[in-house]
């Protein structure tokens, strides 16, 4: 496949010459061509993926620094390897900047992604089999909010809430009803596609009524919160899961914000429970991105996007662009042949695989998985016939809530 490596008209040439003439080009010209081609693609076309952004040159410099060479299991002052005095300083700076920016008592900057941060939050607060209330995937929930293709849907009993059919807003009466009837151990607030600001105070009130933890997944709102364009969940949530890419314009990675009383549990859930050594080059790059938001220029970066959102929403709503719920299917007469499945489509998350089911077969213990055939829900590793014995067995799921949690598949927070 030919890769375009020429800079588009008006684009700075420096981004291309580094890959084309530097040590990478001399040692591995094939990969250098790929990097130059991707740089050309990013700078020569409009990018409209909500989970992406452009990291600053300073962030890229930190990512490519010698800090990538340092192994640093543990936390500053309590590492399992020697020679960590300097990288400890980088992590302390990142923690201090995030705590000041978001007003959090405790911050963990080690999660490798937003999904890794969510995993750690669940590990700190929940046990396998616990009931969790979260936004259903068809309404904008994330894979880590109970998708059966994800660990969350296998290890926990997720109940999905949705949005009001007429307004498209979160149905808080349904949230309160489900919380009262199902008694969740935790309530997850956050989504990947819900276009409004959640009412964090009301979620906190409902969580307190049933004695549940409130976990806020703010992966897509982190930069807006940092810039003051979106309300902060920190005063209301027990744990906030965030990302450093997307609007924050940092490296790919996650953050965890919580109160001091949960600090130890959160830190132990990240290391050693769900991750190994921290990626110190990424931690330093997170510090660089967070420092940029503390400056006046950073604070001015987020509001324009937030300010334009109501106008876009009014235009879509007024122009008839609102997506109408699908009408229920008529019942199939007894003895009638089964309905034909929709033709398979290729592609990523949310699209049907070769067998007509959502998601890739390898994610469901299908034909691409060793062991093949239908997914084995009695084993922690899905279709695999052998797996680590220490992993908890998947949860035997109850009948789904009418909100339909788990039927959709939205691409991720990670």
Domain presence at residue 214: yes
Looking at residues 47-61, what average pLDDT do you find?
A: 90
Question: Which stretches does DSSP call E strand in 74-147?
Answer: 74-75, 78-79, 106-108, 131-135
Contact between 52 and 246 (Cβ < 8 Å): yes
Give the pLDDT of residue 44.
92
User: Beta partners for 107?
Assistant: 257
- The pLDDT confidence band at residue 22, using thresholds 50, 70 and 90, is confident
- The pLDDT confidence band at residue 293, using thresholds 50, 70 and 90, is confident
Query: Around Cβ 342, how many Cβ atoms within 10 Å?
Result: 8
Domain presence at residue 224: yes
Domain presence at residue 191: yes
pLDDT tens profile 154-170:
999 999 999 998 889 99
Closest by CA to 250, choosing from 40, 49, 60, 100, is: 60
Structure tokens at 313: 């929403």
Q: Among the ranges 242-256, 310-324, 387-401, which has the highest mean pLDDT value? A: 242-256
Contact between 160 and 187 (Cβ < 8 Å): no
Share of residues in the chain with pLDDT > 90 (%) = 51
> In terms of pLDDT, which residue wins out, 286 or 141?
286
Contact between 179 and 212 (Cβ < 8 Å): yes
Q: What is the pLDDT of the chain when averaged over all its residues?
A: 78
Query: Around Cβ 90, how many Cβ atoms within 10 Å?
Result: 26
Q: Which residues contact 242 (CB under 8 A, 6 or more apart)?
A: 102, 114, 117, 218, 219, 222, 248, 254, 255, 256, 257
| CATH number, domain containing residue 95 | 3.40.640.10
**Residue position matching structure tokens 């991707």:** 38
Number of domains present in the structure of the chain: 1
Domain presence at residue 304: no
Looking at residues 247-252, what average pLDDT do you find?
A: 92
Domain presence at residue 16: no
Domain presence at residue 11: no
Give the pLDDT of residue 338.
58
- What is the phi/psi pair of residue 131, to 5°? -85, 135
How far out from the chain centre does Cα 373 lie?
30
Structure tokens at 412: 């991720």
pLDDT tens profile 254-280:
999 999 999 999 999 999 999 999 999
Q: Which residues contact 411 (CB under 8 A, 6 or more apart)?
A: 51, 143, 192, 348, 349, 350
Q: Quote the CA–CA distance of 122 and 55 in Å, as a whole number.
A: 29
Q: Is 182 exposed, middle or buried (0-12, 13-18, 19+ CB in 10 A)?
A: middle
Q: In 3-state terms, what secondary structure has residue 35?
A: helix
- What is the phi/psi pair of residue 375, to 5°? -65, 135
Is pLDDT of 23 > 60? yes
Give the pLDDT of residue 1.
54
Contact between 18 and 5 (Cβ < 8 Å): no
Contact between 198 and 141 (Cβ < 8 Å): no
Structural domain span for residue 194? 66-126+185-297
Q: Quote the CA–CA distance of 241 and 412 in Å, as a whole number.
A: 14
Closest by CA to 359, choosing from 383, 339, 378, 380, is: 383
Q: Which residues contact 177 (CB under 8 A, 6 or more apart)?
A: none
Query: How many residues are recorded in the chain?
Result: 414
Q: In 3-state terms, what secondary structure has residue 20?
A: helix
Domain presence at residue 219: yes
- Helix H or strand E encompassing 66: none
Annotated catalytic residues are 71, 73, 217, 243, 246, 252
Is pLDDT of 189 > 50? yes
Burial code (b: 16+ CB inside 10 Å, e: under 16) for 47-65 equals eeeebebebeeebbebbee
Contact between 262 and 106 (Cβ < 8 Å): yes
Domain presence at residue 87: yes
User: Beta partners for 243?
Assistant: 254
């Amino acid at each position: 496949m030919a890769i375009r490596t020429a800079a588009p008209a008006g684009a700075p040439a420096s981004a291309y010459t580094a890959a084309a003439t530097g040590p990478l080009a001399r040692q591995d010209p094939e990969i250098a061509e790929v990097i130059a081609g991707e740089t050309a693609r990013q700078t020569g076309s409009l990018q409209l993926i909500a989970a992406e952004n452009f990291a600053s040159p300073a962030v890229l410099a930190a990512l490519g620094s010698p800090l990538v060479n340092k192994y640093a299991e543990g936390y500053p002052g309590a590492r399992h390897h020697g020679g960590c005095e300097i990288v400890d300083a980088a992590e302390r700076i990142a923690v201090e900047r995030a705590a000041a920016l978001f007003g959090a008592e405790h911050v963990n900057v080690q999660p490798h992604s937003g999904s890794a941060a969510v995993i750690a939050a669940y590990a700190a607060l929940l046990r396998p089999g616990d009931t969790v209330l979260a936004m259903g995937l068809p309404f904008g929930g994330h894979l880590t909010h109970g998708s059966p293709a994800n660990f969350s849907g296998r290890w926990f009993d997720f109940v999905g809430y949705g949005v009001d059919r007429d307004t498209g807003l979160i149905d808080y009466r349904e949230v309160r009803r489900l919380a009262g009837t199902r008694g969740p151990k935790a309530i997850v607030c956050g989504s990947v596609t819900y276009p409004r600001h959640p009412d964090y105070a009301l979620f906190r009130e409902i969580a307190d009524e049933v004695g549940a933890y409130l976990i806020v997944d703010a992966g897509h709102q982190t930069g807006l919160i940092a810039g003051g364009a979106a309300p902060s969940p920190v005063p209301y949530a027990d744990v906030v899961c965030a990302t450093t890419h997307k609007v924050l314009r940092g490296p790919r990675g996650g953050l965890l914000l919580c109160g001091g009383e949960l600090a130890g549990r959160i830190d132990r859930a990240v290391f050693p429970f769900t991750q190994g050594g921290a990626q110190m080059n990424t931690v330093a790059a997170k510090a660089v991105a967070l420092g940029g938001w503390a400056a006046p220029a950073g604070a001015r970066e987020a509001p324009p996007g937030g300010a334009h959102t109501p106008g876009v929403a009014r235009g879509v709503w007024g122009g008839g662009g609102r997506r109408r719920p699908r009408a229920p299917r008529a019942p199939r007469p007894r003895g009638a042949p089964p309905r034909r499945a929709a033709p398979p489509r290729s592609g990523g998350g949310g699209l049907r695989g070769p067998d007509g089911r959502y998601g890739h077969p390898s994610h469901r213990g299908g034909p691409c998985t060793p062991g093949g055939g239908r997914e084995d829900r009695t084993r922690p590793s899905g279709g695999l016939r052998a797996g680590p014995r220490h992993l908890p067995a998947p949860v035997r799921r109850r009948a789904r809530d009418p909100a339909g949690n788990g039927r959709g598949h939205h691409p991720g927070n990670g």
